[in-house]
Each structure stands twice: as structure tokens, then as C-alpha cells.
Structure 1
């Protein structure tokens, strides 16, 4: 028994450490009550679901889209879910997000509306998909989808991070300002798609923009650590500016007006590849995204298939779970599964083509 004492002591310490870690990781890392949120693409679909959830959790919300009538209806819908209707504030801005100057205007207008303070949380959620075979899609269609799905988020990230992180001319350079209280972090979030994680026939005009967002998020997550590490240089007050966190959310299929539009141009073989995929409502995907954010996750998927695709494509992105062990183990399983899934997907496309031909406006090839 005496010889086992060191091992028992080690086991007790290990369990105590695990309990502490579980308590640490269960803490809400995405506090929104009383904070101001800027959300693009907020008039319908996932964006409307997110705005509603922000309202339910006590945030002040500004939504951005193009259509004023949809924005007015969405604000009324969101306000009805407010946790504290007497104190929460809501606003909308009509803008073309594919313009860099419009994104600058949006952030400036929200800052003025928020009593001179920039928004605490900015979510680049605007996007759309017009799925087609690559040869059927026009260059204009592919460029437009890249503009909305990648560049709109990039413009918003650029102006937001400059607003949050650029030091003023009067900031001290000697590091003498010492923080007295750690402020809540600011969050910049981008909505990508599981289509960024796996090549699927029929999504060539859409997937590249969403994949580029994933790469941008990885890069920004690395770069903001430079600013987070030197925050005490960025303010002349005794309190450092808030740290900045980057997140990316990759949902799957969502029931929405956008989904209805997608299906108007989607090739039949794309439907075959998506058979059996889980379809989420705007409220379900919003709740799943919040769950990941509140857990402090960086890359967030919203259903099991998305989780599997994410761990299979992490590369240099951070892994989730305590010390990343959960995703590491899951990734091993999915790595084996892809030995069977990938060839099966390719066979489905090949067999569909052999049976039905291409059925493409660009290439008329049919089997006999």
C-alpha cells in the first residue's frame, strides 16, 4: 500500500486538475448582455435567428442588409424577443456590403449610435449561394458570390479591427499603463459554411469564397495576438483596451428564403450528394453557434456532420476540447472514415453521370 501512495496522490491531483479545468472551460466566454452587436445579413435566415437570440440574451442589436422593408420587419420581430425591452436598443442600416466604403460607414454609424463607443461584437454573416456546375456558372455569377461571401466579410473585418486596434497618437509608448481590471473581450465572427471543408459537385461558384474566409479567420486569429499582447501600449488610460477574439462559424443546410433560392439552380447530382443531410432552422443554427461561442471555441460547426468535416480538415487550426484531445481523437476516427466517404461520394457522381448524362447547359453529354 505504501508503494502505491505516490500513484494515488498523483491520481488525486490529476482528478482535481481535471475538475478545475472543467469548471474553467464551462465558464461562459461569450457574454452579450448589455453589449452592442453589429450583425450583417440580419434581415432573414440565420442572421435573423442570431439577432433574435442576441435580443433574448439582453444585447443591443444593429442589423445590416439591403432591403429596407425586410429590415423593418426583422427589427420588429427581434424587438419582440428582447430580454429587457425598456433598456435594450435596436437599429437597422441599409447598405451594400460589397463596398469597402459602405462597411466603413456602417461601423462609424453604429459607433455614433452607441454613444461614441464601437460595437463590442461584430458578426459578418451576410452571404448567399447560387449553386451551379462550374461550366454552367458565368464568370459574373462566380465573381458576385466571391464579393458577397468573402470580400464583404473582409471589408468589415478590416474596418472593425482598425477601429478596435489602431492606437491613438496620444497613447504611451513606454508600457507604463497597467490595467486595473480585465475588460470583456471583443468578438469578430465570420459565417462560413461546411462547403468550405469538402468539395461537393455543384458548389464551385460558392465554396471558394467560404474556404477563403476560413483561411482569413486562421490568419486573423494569429495576428490579433500581436495586439492582444501589447494592449497596455494602446491606451492612455489606466485600463487596457479589451482583447480581441476571432471566431468562424460553419453551418450546414438552413431552412430559409436563401435555401429556397439555392434549390432553383442546384444541379440534381448536388441533391444526391446532400441526401440525408441534417437541415436546421434559423433558431437551431443560431443556438448551436452560440453554444460554441459560449464555450470559447474558435471554429464552430452546428451539427454532427459539420463536426466530422471540421475535425477532418483542421490542419493548423486549433483543436477543441480539453487540451484539444477531443478533436484529436475524433479526427483519428474521421480520418479513417474518409477512406470510405470520399470514394463513395465520387462514385455517386460518376454513377449519376453514367445513368443520366451531364444535363448541363454548357456540356451536352449523355450516356446511351
Structure 2
């Protein structure tokens, strides 16, 4: 049995949609008090309303992690509402497509500002309350795209996700003496509302590339994040966990067919 996380304070950036929303729901279901941070007021309100009946208290804050002051406000709000920060789930990310020949400086800056710089700013802002908690946990939501795989049009996105892994390794060494761990979860193809417009046939084709034969659920990522936030995971730091149903394992389509 794992030590309960009930009553602990959790901040989830990009928590109003997709994987972040799933992370917030799983932590709140486990009794944690969750501050969801997002840029869109409507999506934030919907997420908070959806989780109102869960054991943990859930509230929202409209802020942009790409802004240092927004991250500082995020921490002030978590401390005011829940007494501190025990867990930071740095999930906020954007994934616009841009081929190399068409990618503008603005395209590149937008992705790096949210996916990489925003993660760094969120971590920096949360350090004092994470250290005060005595069991601070940072979970970064990266991706298999960039660190392990590639996809045309996502070179800037992949670079931002690979940069996150480089960051956590050195950060883990700096934070070890403060009893703060930092780890990453690398999702594969996860079914979120962002895929709904692609059509069922396309989604089935995506699932066929996964040895388990299905797309991941947001809870698959959320439960990995929850484990990394437990007391029992205190000796794990600077590591990355791939959660992809075996997606990166086949060396070719023939390997899948041989299954």
C-alpha cells in the first residue's frame, strides 16, 4: 500500500484539458487538493465543475506559465488556498505543426516559451514551498516525440520535449539535498479531446501501431504521475518513465505483423 496523498497540495499546469485534466482528476480522487492552472477561463471553469464532487478540493487559476509573474501568482494562490505546494505537475504544453521551411521565429518562440521555459519558470516558482513540504515532488509531462521518436512538422515541439529531459537530470542533482524529486512521464499516443475531430478510422490506424492495440487513456499518464508523487517514490529522481503501450518498441511494421 502507498502512503495516501490526501490533504496534500498539488499544482497542475495545463490542467483544464487533456492529460492535465486527467492528472488533476486522479489526484483529487485520491484526496489531494488541486490547483488547476490554465489560460482559458471557460475550460478551467468546466474542469473545476466536473471535479466538484471528488474527495479533494479543486480550484482553478487563469495564468500563463510562459510568464514568470503568472507562475509566481500560481504559487501564491496555492499557498493561500491549500497551505503550500507538495506536488507540481508541470504539464502545460502546446503542439502546433510547422514544417522547417515555413517555421517562423514566432512559431519557435511560442513552443519553447510554453513547453520548456514555462516548465522552468513553474519549477523555480514552486521551489520554496516544495522544500518546506519536506517531501516535494515535481512531475514533468514530456513526450516520446523528441526524446525517442520524431514526426514531420513537430521538430520544434520535439526539441522542447527533449530539452525537458536534459533539464530534469541536472535539476535532480541540485534538488536532492532539499528532499525534492523531479521526474518525467513520457506519453505515447493518448486519446484526448484534441483527437476527436480526426475521425474513428484515423484513430484506429493510430491504435494499430501500438502493441497493446489501443490508444492510451489520460488516466494511464495520471496514475504514473501519482506514483511518482508518493512517499514510496522518494528514491526515484532524474528519471523518465515511458507510458505508451509499447509504441516505441517495434522496429518496423513487420514486427507488429509478427505479433
Which interval holds the TM-score relative to the shorter structure? Answer: 0.7 to 0.9
For residue 302 of structure 1, report the CA deviation from its aligned partner: 1.5
Query: Cα deviations across residues 113-134 of structure 1 (Å, max 9, x unaligned)?
Result: 22xx321111111102123332
Matches within 5 A, 1:136-147: 136-147=102-113
1:70 aligns with 2:43: yes
Q: For 1:255, which of 188, 191, 207 is the aligned residue?
A: 191
TM-score by length of 1: 0.59
For residue 223 of structure 1, report the CA deviation from its aligned partner: 1.0
| Aligned position for 2:143 | 193
| Aligned position for 2:80 | 112
Which one has a bigger Cα radius of gyration?
1
Query: Cα deviations across residues 307-326 of structure 1 (Å, max 9, x unaligned)?
Result: xx5xxxxxxxxxxxxxxxxx
CA contact (8 A) 1:50 1:283 kept: yes
| Aligned position for 1:222 | 173
CA contact (8 A) 1:122 1:187 kept: yes
| Aligned position for 2:14 | 41
Unaligned runs of 5+ residues in structure 2 are 199-204, 254-259
- Cα distance in 2 for partners of 1:49, 1:163 equals 24
| Aligned position for 1:92 | 60
For residue 164 of structure 1, report the CA deviation from its aligned partner: 3.8
For residue 304 of structure 1, report the CA deviation from its aligned partner: 3.6
- Cα distance in 2 for partners of 1:197, 1:256 equals 21
- Cα distance in 2 for partners of 1:273, 1:139 equals 31
CA contact (8 A) 1:39 1:123 kept: yes
TM-score by length of 2: 0.81
| Aligned position for 2:122 | 156
CA contact (8 A) 2:206 2:215 kept: no
CA contact (8 A) 1:40 1:64 kept: yes
- Cα distance in 2 for partners of 1:33, 1:276 equals 37
Q: For 1:126, which of 89, 92, 113 is the aligned residue?
A: 92
**Alpha-carbon RMSD:** 2.9
CA contact (8 A) 2:140 2:183 kept: yes
Query: Cα deviations across residues 18-71 of structure 1 (Å, max 9, x unaligned)?
Result: xxxxxxxxx636x41111111111111111111111111111111000111111
CA distance 1:184–1:259, shift in 2 (3 Å) = farther
| Aligned position for 2:246 | 305
| Aligned position for 2:217 | 281
Unaligned runs of 5+ residues in structure 1 are 1-26, 167-182, 229-242, 264-271, 310-333, 346-368
- Cα distance in 2 for partners of 1:260, 1:205 equals 24
Aligned length: 241
- Cα distance in 2 for partners of 1:128, 1:190 equals 14
CA distance 1:135–1:254, shift in 2 (3 Å) = same
Query: Cα deviations across residues 206-256 of structure 1 (Å, max 9, x unaligned)?
Result: 00111111111111111112x33xxxxxxxxxxxxxx21112111112222
- Cα distance in 2 for partners of 1:273, 1:74 equals 27
Is the deviation greater in 191-200 or in 149-158? 191-200
1:79 aligns with 2:52: yes
Is the deviation greater in 64-73 or in 283-292? 283-292
Pick 1 or 2: higher relative contact order, CA cutoff 8 A, min separation 6: 2
CA contact (8 A) 1:48 1:78 kept: no
- Cα distance in 2 for partners of 1:62, 1:56 equals 14
